């Protein structure tokens, strides 16, 4: 079976990080949180899900922070999420199916990335992004992210 590390960069996300981590805590093998300077309860909430919390001094560079987060991963694949992302139950099931059946030759998997919602929380804008990448391939973020 494929193993997956969640890698997130966060700052002052106490309002949403618990919901995000709860939605993925049973479908990933490792959770890595890279905090870029929170002064709220973000790290305290994250600590309920993982001991792997790292500090990264913010240098106005999302790519540097995400690359540092990727360096913390120890499993086969890296999943990156933002703190306000949530895996719905149907998405959790699909992700577990992917995890259990994925060919190890696959380097990256694209997933829907929802950008905007209407007043009833229906997706009004989305695109596909590579959200799961093979760690040994050394994927790097470059430039403005």
Model pLDDT for residues 92-126, shown as the tens digit of each residue: 999 999 999 999 999 999 988 777 778 887 778 87
What pLDDT is recorded for position 145? 63
User: Does a structural domain hold residue 44?
Assistant: yes
What pLDDT was estimated at residue 26?
96
Does some domain include residue 63?
yes
For the stretch 7-30, pLDDT in tens is 999 999 999 999 999 999 999 999
**42 within 8 A of 12, measured Cβ to Cβ:** yes
Q: Which residue in 90, 134, 140 sits closest to 112, CA to CA?
A: 90
The CATH number of residue 58's host domain is 3.90.550.10
CB atoms within 10 A of CB 112: 12
User: Rounded mean pLDDT of the chain?
Assistant: 93
Q: Is the pLDDT of residue 35 over 70?
A: yes
Q: Which of 1, 145, 139, 142 is nearest to 73 (CA)?
A: 139
Number of domains in the chain: 1
d(CA 143, CA 145): 6
Copy the structure tokens of residue 74: 């120890």
């Amino acid at each position: 079976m494929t193993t997956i590390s969640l890698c997130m960069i966060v700052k002052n996300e106490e309002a949403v990080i618990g919901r995000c981590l709860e939605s993925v805590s049973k479908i990933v093998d490792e959770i890595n949180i890279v905090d870029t300077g929170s002064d709220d309860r973000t790290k305290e909430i994250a600590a309920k899900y993982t001991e792997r919390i790292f500090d990264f001094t913010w240098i106005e560079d999302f790519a540097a922070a995400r690359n540092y987060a990727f360096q913390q991963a120890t499993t086969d694949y890296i999943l990156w999420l933002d703190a306000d992302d949530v895996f719905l139950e149907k998405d959790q099931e699909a992700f577990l199916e992917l995890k259990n059946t994925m060919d190890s030759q696959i380097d990256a998997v694209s997933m829907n990335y929802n950008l905007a919602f209407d007043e009833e929380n229906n997706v009004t804008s989305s695109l596909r992004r590579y959200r799961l990448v093979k760690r040994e391939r050394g994927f790097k973020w470059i430039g403005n992210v």
